[in-house]
């Protein structure tokens, strides 16, 4: 496993900032009415996507969720293409035909955000089967939320990955709520991690606000998978800064207790302080990354705004491959 060093710390800090700025800006623009449809923002959970994807290459795959912008950015998807996609423009990563919930870039190993909660499990298993069949040491990370953990696909997907010892890492982003319903109500098991026992695979619970902890745990699980030792469940306790979707009043969020604790934590700020203290980043470097990120997102917005809408004929294209 690669250690957290200056190089990947800078990469992680850049991606964390890109995700936060991207989402804050999408939030602002959505409110203005310029972005149509359903949008689910990843802000607040940056430590998970970046801490995991820091271990991956383009030849490794991920499956994502409806809250997928963060995974896309951490997996190296182009910011301009992503923003244009969310705006429904022809220059979007999916030519404007997928939108926020379906951003994908298979060349980057990004097998798609997914509008079906729990839809990613079997697809990740299939990509893992492919990796094993072709005798590669590439892995697949299946990101999912605490809500998806109660879909049948969770069971079937993880069971298959376990019996076939596939190189798939199941990363749960437990942000306490599936839409407007608490995880404590939805799941009979106290944690998602403990369900690993049922499949005889490791299940680990980590503080998803702590980048270093996510990075270390993901690194170990990914190493195991690359060596052919099979899947792992990693449950990251995290918190979404915004609602389930844009426009959600979030009446269900308490103003005290665990939720307040989580809401008060900012994983990016925490990592900045820690990285500077442990000399992985200098203050100037961190400031520079932040400033560049703001510029990159501004550029992406401009690109999206200035891009053309899809040609009418595009409606009929790409239903079937020739």
Q: Give the interface with another protein as residue ranges (CB under 8 A).
A: 61, 63, 92-98, 102, 104-107, 111-112, 114-116, 119, 121-131, 133-134, 152-153, 156-157, 159-160, 163, 317-322
Q: What is the DSSP string of 221-251?
A: HHHHHHTT---EEEEEE---SS-SSTT---T
Identity of the residue, 22 or 121, whose beta carbon is nearer to another protein in the bound complex: 121
Identity of the residue, 127 or 280, whose beta carbon is nearer to another protein in the bound complex: 127
Identity of the residue, 90 or 213, whose beta carbon is nearer to another protein in the bound complex: 90
CB of 125 to another protein, least distance (A): 4
DSSP H helices, the chain, are 6-32, 46-53, 69-74, 79-86, 120-133, 152-163, 183-186, 196-199, 211-226, 257-264, 267-277, 283-306
294, exposed or middle or buried, with CB in 10 Å at 0-12, 13-18, 19+?
Answer: middle
CB of 319 to another protein, least distance (A): 5
CB of 105 to another protein, least distance (A): 7
Identity of the residue, 188 or 321, whose beta carbon is nearer to another protein in the bound complex: 321
Identity of the residue, 56 or 281, whose beta carbon is nearer to another protein in the bound complex: 56
CB of 171 to another protein, least distance (A): 16
Q: What CA–CA distance (Å, rounded) separates 13 from 73?
A: 12
Using CA atoms in the order 232, 20, 295, 62, what is the torsion angle rounded to 10 degrees?
20
Q: Which two tokens stand for residue 232?
A: 């792992």
Q: In sequence order, which residues have a C-beta less than 8 Å from that of residue 21 and are 6 or more positions away?
A: 293, 294, 296, 297
Identity of the residue, 76 or 115, whose beta carbon is nearer to another protein in the bound complex: 115
CB of 233 to another protein, least distance (A): 16
Identity of the residue, 16 or 113, whose beta carbon is nearer to another protein in the bound complex: 113
Q: What CA–CA distance (Å, rounded) separates 64 from 141?
A: 9
Q: Which two tokens stand for residue 79?
A: 């910011």
CB of 152 to another protein, least distance (A): 6
38, exposed or middle or buried, with CB in 10 Å at 0-12, 13-18, 19+?
Answer: middle
Identity of the residue, 133 or 185, whose beta carbon is nearer to another protein in the bound complex: 133
CB-CB contact of 52 with 78 (8 Å) = no
Q: Which of 88, 82, 75 is nearest to 11 (CA)?
A: 75
285 SS3 class: helix
Identity of the residue, 69 or 240, whose beta carbon is nearer to another protein in the bound complex: 69
CB of 281 to another protein, least distance (A): 35
CB of 15 to another protein, least distance (A): 22
Q: Which two tokens stand for residue 107?
A: 């060349």
CB of 306 to another protein, least distance (A): 19
């Amino acid at each position: 496993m690669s250690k957290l060093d200056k190089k990947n710390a800078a990469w992680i800090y850049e991606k964390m900032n890109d995700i936060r700025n991207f989402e804050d800006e999408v939030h602002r623009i959505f409110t203005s009415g310029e972005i149509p449809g359903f949008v689910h923002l990843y802000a607040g959970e940056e430590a998970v996507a970046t801490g995991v994807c820091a271990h991956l290459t383009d030849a490794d795959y991920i499956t994502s969720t409806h809250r997928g912008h963060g995974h896309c950015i951490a997996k190296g998807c182009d910011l301009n293409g992503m923003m244009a996609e969310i705006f429904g423009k022809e220059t979007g990563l999916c030519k404007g035909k997928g939108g926020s919930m379906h951003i994908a870039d298979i060349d980057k190993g990004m097998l798609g955000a997914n509008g079906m909660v729990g839809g990613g499990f079997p697809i990740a298993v299939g990509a893992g089967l492919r990796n094993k069949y072709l005798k590669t040491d590439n892995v697949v990370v299946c990101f999912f939320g605490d809500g998806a953990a109660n879909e049948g696909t969770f069971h079937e997907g993880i069971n298959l990955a376990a019996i076939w010892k596939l190189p798939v890492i199941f990363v749960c982003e437990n942000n306490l709520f599936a839409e407007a319903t608490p995880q404590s109500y939805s799941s009979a098991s106290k944690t998602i991690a403990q369900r690993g026992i049922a499949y005889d695979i490791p299940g680990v619970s980590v503080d998803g606000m702590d980048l270093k902890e996510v990075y270390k745990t993901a690194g170990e699980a990914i190493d195991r998978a690359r060596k052919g030792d099979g899947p792992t469940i990693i449950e990251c306790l995290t918190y979404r800064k915004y609602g389930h979707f844009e426009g959600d009043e979030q009446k269900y969020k308490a103003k005290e207790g665990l939720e307040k604790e989580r809401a008060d934590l900012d994983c990016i700020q925490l990592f900045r302080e820690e990285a500077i203290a442990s000399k992985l980043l200098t203050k100037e470097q961190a400031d520079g990354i932040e400033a560049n990120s703001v510029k990159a997102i501004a550029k992406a917005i401009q690109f999206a705004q200035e891009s053309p809408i899809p040609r009418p004929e595009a409606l009929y294209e790409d239903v079937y491959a020739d």
